[in-house]
Amino acid sequence: MIFSVHVEVRLRPGIADPQGSTIERALPTLGFDGVKGVRVGKSIRFDIDAADESAARAEADDLCRRFLTNPVIEDAVIHVEAGAAAGATS
């Protein structure tokens, strides 16, 4: 059975985010006031073929911990849904 997985990888609170800080510093001169706390992370989507949802979640957890994130500085939020993601061809 195919499960669609969405992983949001974000920097842990307190870890410096130079990309986010640069966006935040630039925005007032571009006409956007009142935007604060910009944090840039990664969003990874894929399909997993697994027996059931808990197996899919376990495999996604393992994948995230070992290859998709750096657990020292990043947190991952994992969403698993039944069914292949539309348009997920690479």
Give the whole-angstrom CA distance, residue 82 versus residue 90.
20
Please work out, in degrees rounded to the nearest 5, the angle formed at the alpha carbon of residue 8 by the alpha carbons of 4 and 12. Answer: 155
61 binds a second copy (CB under 8 A): no
Minimum CB separation from a second copy for residue 10, in Å? Answer: 7
Q: State the CB neighbour count (10 A cutoff) for residue 80.
A: 20
Residue 73 C-beta: closest distance to a second copy, Å: 13
Give me the residues that bind a second copy (CB under 8 A), please.
8-10, 13-14, 16-17, 20-21, 23-24, 27, 30, 32-50, 59, 62-63, 66-68, 84-90
